[in-house]
Amino acid sequence: MTIAAVDQERLGLAGTRDFTKRGAGAARRERLTAYNKAWLGQLWAKATAPLGNRTEGVALAAVGSLARGDGGPLSDYDLVLVHDGRSLSGSDVTELADRIWYPLWDAGVRLDHSVRTLGECRAVASGDLAAAVGMLDLDLLAGDDVLVAGVRQSIAHDWRANARKRLPELLDSLRVRHERHGDLMSEIEPDLKEGGGGLRDMAVLRALTAAWLTDRPHGAVDRAYGELLDVRDALHVVTGRGRDRLGREDQDAVAALLGQPDSDALLTGVVQAARTISFALDGTMRRAGQSQRARTLRVGPRRPVLSPLGYGLYEHDGEVVLGPKSTGLGSPLLLLRAARLAARRGLPLAPTTVANLSGELQSLPMPWPAEIRDAFVDLLATGPGLVHVWETLDQAGVIGRWLPEWGAVRSRPQRNAVHRHTVDRHIVESVVEACRLRGDVERPDLLLMAALLHDIGKIAGVHDHAVEGAPVAANMLRRMGFHADDIDVVELLVREHLTLVDLATRRDPHDPRTVAALVGAVEERPDVLDLLRALTEADAISAGPKAWTSWRVGLIDELTAQGRRALAGRRMPAPADPFHDTAYGEQLPPELLRDLAMGNPHVTVEPTPSGARVEIADRDRLGLFADSAGLLAAHGLVVRTARVRTVDDVAINTWDVEAPAGDLPHAEEVQRGLVQLAGGDRNPLRALERRRRSAPDVGAPPTRATVIPGASEQATVIEVRAQDRPGLLREIGITFARHSLAVRSAHVATYAGQTLDTFYVTAAGDRPVAPPQVAQVIAALIDACDGATRSPG
């Protein structure tokens, strides 16, 4: 294809040797803009020569990339011939336009042109959103500068005056354009201009600031825009065409011109730039909406409406923000809690809050403290809201500081027809899917960590990312302070995360050797098989619909069923029976005995880094566990772990709790409340019902309650897995009490938003529960945890 003379001149000005130099892109575009304006100025002089001195009231102006000064070597010209409708006759205007447009067409330049008066410009901008956004950049090329300035000011005035109406229209147009052209974060052949996070989105950012609704981010977003412009310029040079879509066939040449090692590195840079622009646009649109709401006429003082969320955080105008008296701004724990609250409620973190929490963020010790590790896993368990919050933390540089290995997979493309996301986005989507499946496994925290780390080895130069990623994942878990046994499980899952689907689709799932290979891969552990099955589904669904077809699902389910049958009867050991275990040995402390002798429970409240440890000791009675759990929940405490044991006739309950409201109850308050509850006074639990009503609905998986056969000779051992919520443990305790069962010991733990509780219960006479009654208790527990019953407050 022959390149026109003007385009050849522009390609020559673009050069091919300065693309890798710092700042070369801006200088190159400055040269191109100067050339374009000079050439069009000469064309204007020739076109207006027949008019003599009659050029007042007419001008040639540019919109688009030429007006902004960021056009590429072969970008088209968007020109407007503006006239006042009086100085020249209609025929003179038409002839002038022809003398401008025809030489441009003859030169082979791509041209978008129009002829308009001031009134026509305003009318077009009023009816066409894209034209309005474009004309905000209207720039004089030649002619009457006062006329062009008047048009530009009028368009900007109309844009600001109609911002309330145009903002929803702008949102709709963005959605339609992104659906049509895809986004740069997921496309292997991205449209650099029209795709989500592309050059057109930057024009929308500028249009929002022109409406005086909000400012836009600077710095990183401007650099990202410059990087996309450089890629666009290189694409023009290597193809000799004014293309905006970065096709596969051109990527190697573009990467070489830009000094990139390969096309994957090129696409990684494109994705990172697009993510920065997209994130900035999302936040700016939100700020603009808030600005509009703030301008609404109100009666009385304009005070911010803050809805408390706990931990010194509030919801304000659709965002999670810090309270006016917040402390610990550099605390990783506070940042994780803010992120968890935002993700669980599907809200964004306010930019100022992110800046305040991450600006002087304290470094994490190695290994991570338990409260940090638990909060991190809680964040992973928040469901779909995790995607935006994780992106916020990633853009703020937090994820890279906590997980340095993340940088190797960040924005990395996947050249596989099955995958629809970059490696890092696929990982986050896998975590979201794993959260949905966490009710299918005994250790949802390990499932979520495996989902987060399963593709951590998918980096440049790696042949088998599963094998290479497993030791990387293990090292990360050690740094995070996980137990050695848990590290082994996650390392196995990362190494074998493709095994189930490979065996199911490439070998006969009914063949004993296939089943034996699966059983060997999970080290003959049924719990690991369940984890692998859930991880396989989460990985496949997040990859895309081609990876999780009904055919594959059938084969995977069949092989999983065969593996479970092969492992039937094998179960990981239950928690050690703590029936006679006591931290006090055989002698109870004198102060405890003194309180009991006076008819009062013994209570201590000891602050910890994550909240407090509350110990309650009292004469054992039916309902003591339920009363203790309910009272703690009524005080706004969130139970992380609990241990219940009985020494002679004394029940000793140890609770590790968080205090979202910030205030810990005094031991005397808890003691007084327990005495009231033991006497039948329910007033101490009134606050619990309010908390339960205000708890967010997170779409919990159904409760699972099972009996662990043979786990104890002295008691019936019941395991309950349910979504954590305020008052849950009280509901469980009341269910036991209603069936006249005593909780002699228990292990209570919360993993990734789900409780995994093991209760040793006895019937009258301290005997195990009879099988018929066990069935009734199991059904009642499931009803209570799933909300079919509610105890009176």
Q: Name the percent of the chain lying above pLDDT 90.
A: 51
> For 5-161, CATH number?
3.30.460.10
Q: What is the pLDDT of residue 297?
A: 47
Distance of alpha carbon 13 from alpha carbon 21, whole angstroms:
15
Where does CATH 3.30.460.10 sit in the chain? 5-161
Q: Among residues 524, 574, 596, which one has the least CA distance to residue 710?
A: 574
Distance of alpha carbon 693 from alpha carbon 468, whole angstroms:
47
Contact between 689 and 424 (Cβ < 8 Å): no
Where does CATH 1.10.3090 sit in the chain? 309-566
State CA 596 to chain mean position distance. 50
Handedness of CA 703, 750, 336, 268 (dihedral sign): negative
CATH class of the region 165-294: mainly alpha
Residues lower than pLDDT 70 in the chain: 1-2, 16-17, 292-304, 569-587, 690-700, 788-793
Distance of alpha carbon 775 from alpha carbon 718, whole angstroms:
11
Query: Residue 40: how many CA atoms within 13 Å on its side-chain side?
Result: 28
Which CA distances in Å does 101 have to 77, 110, 684?
Answer: 11, 11, 83
Q: How far apart are the first and last CA of the chain?
A: 81
Distance of alpha carbon 99 from alpha carbon 47, whole angstroms:
5
CATH architecture, range 309-566: Orthogonal Bundle (1.10)
Q: Give the position of tokens 């600005």.
A: 291
Q: What is the pLDDT of residue 582?
A: 42
Where does CATH 1.20.120.330 sit in the chain? 165-294
Contact between 754 and 676 (Cβ < 8 Å): no
Distance of alpha carbon 201 from alpha carbon 130, whole angstroms:
12
Handedness of CA 452, 457, 459, 465 (dihedral sign): negative
DSSP string, 145-212: HHHHHHHHHHHHHHHHHTHHHHHHHHHHHHHHHHHHH-BTTT-SS-BTTTSBTSHHHHHHHHHHHHTT
Q: Name every residue whose Cβ is closer than 8 Å to that of residue 549 and which is 6 or more positions away in sequence.
A: none
